[in-house]
Structure 1
Amino acid sequence: MKVPRLLPGIFLVLSLSSCREYKVFTEYEIEEFSFQGHKAKIVFPHTKNEDGFWIWRARFWGVEPQVDKALLEKGFHLAYIDVADLFGNKEAVRLWNDYYAFITKKYDLNPKVVLEGLSRGGLIVYNWASKNTEKVACIYADAPVCDIKSWPGDLLTGVGSPKDWETCLQVHGLDEKSVMDFKGNPIDNCVKLAQAQVPALHVFGDADEIVPHFENTEPLVKNFEKAGGKIELIRKEGVGHHPHSLEDPKPILDFILNHTVNKSR
């Protein structure tokens, strides 16, 4: 038996959180602009890391910013471009390619980026990374969508979102029949990252009914490890889809720093 469709209300809460985004990083310099018609931002650390390290948040700007703030204090830049309604499709990947080229050159950032994918942000993070394995230092995914059939689709056991599902199918050029053979999900393309030895960390709640870990993270882990990759997991017992991150982000921060600042040269 499926749980009631609470997703619209939940995303309303997230939307309200996003309305407060301008207050989140007030202690830092922020540059906001439009990039090819999409809202974009970059936050500057007080003191830039000498290696130009940076983290690229894919979704829900300003929500649970513990990791972002901790990295800003370590001299990382924080970047963002809104491609949420493209659900990681080819156009989103193209936009990310162009944005990556633009900001790495303009702000003299490291060619390897830390990718941060919350919820649906997992789609673009993995879809872009699988095409750009040499540009990824590591992936931090948090309750990530790894199969569109799970969310926003209502084809498995999770709580779907009919309006988002309609948009998702449209932007991918799919329908409810062809999507069953679709191989453009993170659960599929993660293999390329595993083969390239790109490290990944997934944080998830084991009571998540919106993006269930057993039809998103677990199949991705299976394919990732089968392809020879290494992926770390932080399981939050009894926690649902929210809140993201950890109250104390140290385990996430340590993972990221171990694959950037503290990485053996």
Structure 2
Amino acid sequence: MQGYFSMFSGSYYKLSLTLLLTIVFTFANGQDRSPTNSWKGFEKVGFSVDGHNAYYVKPAHALPGNPWVWRASFPDWHTDMDSILLTKGFFVAYISDDDQYGSPQAMQVWDKLYDYLTTKINLAPKVALEAVSRGALYAYGWAKRNPDKVTCVYAETPVCDIKSWPGGKEKGIGDTALWSQLKAVYHFTEEQAMAYRDNPVDNLEGLASFRVPVLHVIGLEDKLAPPAENSYLFAQRYIAAGGPMSIHPVTIGPQELMGHHFPIDRPDYYADFIFNNSFPVKEPLPYSNYYEKASGLKNFYKAVTTRKMATVTFLGGSITYNPGWRQKVCRYLTERFPDAEFHFIAAGIPSLGSLPHAFRLQRDVLDSGKTDLLFVEAAVNDRANSTDSITQVRALEGIIRHAKKSNPDMDIVMMAFADPDKTGDYNKGIVPAEIANHRLLSYYYDLPFINLGKEVSDKMNHHEFNWDDDFKDLHPAAFGQELYFATIKGLLQDCFDHQPGGLPEPARSLPKPLDKANLQHGKYYNIRNAVYRNGWTITPQWHPSDGLPTREGFVNIPVLSSDTPGAELSLPFKGTAVGIAIVSGSDAGIISYAVDKGEYRNLDMYTQWSAMLHLPWYLLLGSDLKPGNHVLKIRISGQKNKASKGTTCRIVNFLINE
């Protein structure tokens, strides 16, 4: 009881003796005086999670699927709804982690309780959250991290912004002692606490994308968690993000503790809100169906738990470049391993697939230092860019071997994202070639693999969501970003929670390559290595003059270009493959090229996107060459695609596999 009262202590006000006695009387009548193995006539099972006392209460006759309610803070306050739900067949759970204010540490404990109750006790995969006052910091902190696991949220007088309580920085009455305690728990300075942007009222897009129903019960004269600073602001933002919500003011009965306490007038109604949104239990297809742990992430786990520092790199296209799942993975890792120092490398570049990745890996990733965990994805752009299957395998294998040779202890996660073409293939019973190739290399090199393409297809066929309303695009909306993160988190948790015993294994040597012509020695080769005369020029800081957009990293850089028909260049190089990285805009032309004494071939550099932007485009002009010295020759043909406005070739880098 003292812990509850501490929320309302402070220098700003004093409770009258009469009011204090009223609260004590209310609590005394609301406390559970039953033995620890019983709660209001129901069986109560106690246990511990990371040193925190926890329990769940069992209904006499559980409903199919074992629906449940999770109380956040003050489990013995206004329990009528819980009794009603237990009578109907719900479980009720609680863990004691007060004075943590919904901090990242508390969220890790919540994750462990959820995993225990859903895997060991077989409670439903989605839970209804009940929050009272500061309990909203926990409930919404966890719900926003796990919107896929929440059926609904019921909250009474919820604290939705730490600046309101315990901060007292606006109109609400704060608590200076607890404000200091909160800052200590979060390791915040005053400035950091004031600038904090992950309160319950913040970043609600993911929760709203799952259309999680929310109901707040408030007192209109609440001075501790004023509605204007808390529930009203939450509702404004949540509804604007597309989330369903209602607010119910309670105006009857005594309004105590400065309007923060009042009787719950319709417990049956609120119990029905939880019941109707949680039952019948819906069983989503498990995330574990769509990842393979293979040899796991032993080396990365050792780095973050023993060395306590690690570099994590994300190599992919626009789905990796754009904000969403990547930031969520970074946040999860920093919260899971708070004592480790992380360096994150965002190496996603829109439009690029496996072939570009193989040649840019050295500069964009490995030159930045040793990577401990590498995420690789190329399936979407390999389809969009029409990369042939053999080139996909050679490029993906090259990435793996190149990365492993730079750091034999590097753990690599291969991923395949979703797009409508892949969904169409799966619906026809066809495994998309790009996904098959990603898995082939994962299996051969014993690497974890995540098949998000199949997951999206299966879950849509399971009627869990649909493309137009939820996923919306191959660049996923908030819903898709949450889904991707949930599956990736599932793999990470599975690997971290099931580490093999004994001493770490020494790094294994790489097996023989699947394809000897793989691109494991791929790299950029400077345009100044080319030999040319009239018609070709290097622009030191190229940028377009036609107003079309560009890609980051492919503008204001040196570019070797020509639009003069017949202009030639030659490139002496040593290696087994050669190509060019170009910028293909609205004036991209057609080149003729040859390697050594081979016949000249024409290549149209204009793409289906060239009219819209200056697109980074990687072209392999020679592969499976004999090791040794070669010469690439390029000539501006003077011909052009009928949709193009010119005959220009702009080379950003040559590509060689030494």
Normalising by structure 2, report the TM-score.
0.38
Letter in 2 for 1:20: Q
SS in 2 for 1:85: coil
* Pair 1:160–1:13, CA change in 2 (3 A): farther
Q: Which residue of 2 aligns with 1:168?
A: 182
SS in 2 for 1:188: coil
Does residue 191 of structure 1 match 2:205? yes
| 1:31-59 deviation digits (Å, cap 9, x = unpaired) | 12221111111111011111210000001
CA distance in 2, matches of 1:59, 1:233: 20
Letter in 2 for 1:4: Y
Letter in 1 for 2:104: K
- Tell me if the contact between 2:32 and 2:40 (Cα under 8 Å) persists in the aligned partners: no
Letter in 2 for 1:137: T
- Aligned equivalent of 1:211, options 208, 221, 225: 225
- Tell me if the contact between 2:166 and 2:179 (Cα under 8 Å) persists in the aligned partners: yes
Q: Which residue of 2 aligns with 1:4?
A: 13
- Tell me if the contact between 2:49 and 2:112 (Cα under 8 Å) persists in the aligned partners: no
- Aligned equivalent of 2:271, options 253, 261, 264: 253
* Pair 1:18–1:119, CA change in 2 (3 A): farther
Q: Which residue of 2 aligns with 1:79?
A: 93
Per-residue deviation, 1:163: 1.9
SS in 1 for 2:56: strand
CA distance in 2, matches of 1:228, 1:242: 30
CA distance in 1, matches of 2:193, 2:15: 24
Q: Which residue of 1 aligns with 2:510?
A: none
For 1:88-127, list aligned pairs within 5 A.
Answer: 88-127=102-141
SS in 2 for 1:110: coil
* Pair 1:176–1:15, CA change in 2 (3 A): farther
CA distance in 2, matches of 1:15, 1:102: 33
Per-residue deviation, 1:215: 0.4
Per-residue deviation, 1:156: 1.3
Q: Which residue of 2 aligns with 1:21?
A: 32
- Report how many residues are paired: 263
Per-residue deviation, 1:28: 0.7
Which fold has the larger relative contact order, with Cα–Cα distance below 8 Å and residues 6 or more apart in sequence? 1
- Tell me if the contact between 1:146 and 1:217 (Cα under 8 Å) persists in the aligned partners: yes
Q: Which structure: larger Rg?
A: 2
CA distance in 2, matches of 1:46, 1:25: 12
Does residue 45 of structure 1 match 2:59? yes
Please give the root-mean-square deviation of Cα atoms over the aligned residues, in Å: 2.7
CA distance in 1, matches of 2:94, 2:130: 10
Per-residue deviation, 1:177: 1.7
CA distance in 1, matches of 2:205, 2:163: 19
Per-residue deviation, 1:155: 0.9
Normalising by structure 1, report the TM-score.
0.91
- Tell me if the contact between 2:152 and 2:277 (Cα under 8 Å) persists in the aligned partners: yes
- Tell me if the contact between 1:200 and 1:230 (Cα under 8 Å) persists in the aligned partners: yes
Per-residue deviation, 1:189: 3.1
- Tell me if the contact between 1:18 and 1:61 (Cα under 8 Å) persists in the aligned partners: no
CA distance in 2, matches of 1:84, 1:33: 17
CA distance in 1, matches of 2:56, 2:204: 27
* Pair 1:13–1:163, CA change in 2 (3 A): farther
| 1:62-109 deviation digits (Å, cap 9, x = unpaired) | 111011111001100000001121100101111100110011112110
Q: Which residue of 2 aligns with 1:133?
A: 147
- Tell me if the contact between 2:65 and 2:281 (Cα under 8 Å) persists in the aligned partners: no
Letter in 2 for 1:76: F
Per-residue deviation, 1:123: 0.4
CA distance in 2, matches of 1:18, 1:135: 34
Q: Which residue of 2 aligns with 1:32?
A: 46
Letter in 2 for 1:122: A
Letter in 1 for 2:262: P
Q: Which residue of 1 aligns with 2:460?
A: none
- Tell me if the contact between 1:21 and 1:61 (Cα under 8 Å) persists in the aligned partners: no
Q: Which residue of 2 aligns with 1:147?
A: 161
CA distance in 2, matches of 1:21, 1:247: 21
CA distance in 1, matches of 2:245, 2:145: 19
- Sequence identity percentage: 36
SS in 2 for 1:114: strand
Per-residue deviation, 1:255: 1.2
Per-residue deviation, 1:153: 1.2
Letter in 1 for 2:164: S
* Pair 1:263–1:233, CA change in 2 (3 A): farther
- Tell me if the contact between 2:64 and 2:281 (Cα under 8 Å) persists in the aligned partners: no
Higher relative strand content: 2
CA distance in 2, matches of 1:75, 1:139: 19
Q: Which residue of 1 aligns with 2:261?
A: 242
* Pair 1:82–1:180, CA change in 2 (3 A): same
Q: Which runs of 5+ in 1 are unaligned?
A: none
CA distance in 2, matches of 1:64, 1:200: 18
Extract structure 1 runs of 4+ deviating beyond 6 A: none
CA distance in 2, matches of 1:77, 1:111: 13
- Tell me if the contact between 1:59 and 1:120 (Cα under 8 Å) persists in the aligned partners: yes
CA distance in 2, matches of 1:53, 1:42: 12
Letter in 1 for 2:127: V
CA distance in 1, matches of 2:25, 2:150: 27
Does residue 67 of structure 1 match 2:81? yes
* Pair 1:152–1:168, CA change in 2 (3 A): same
Per-residue deviation, 1:18: 9.7
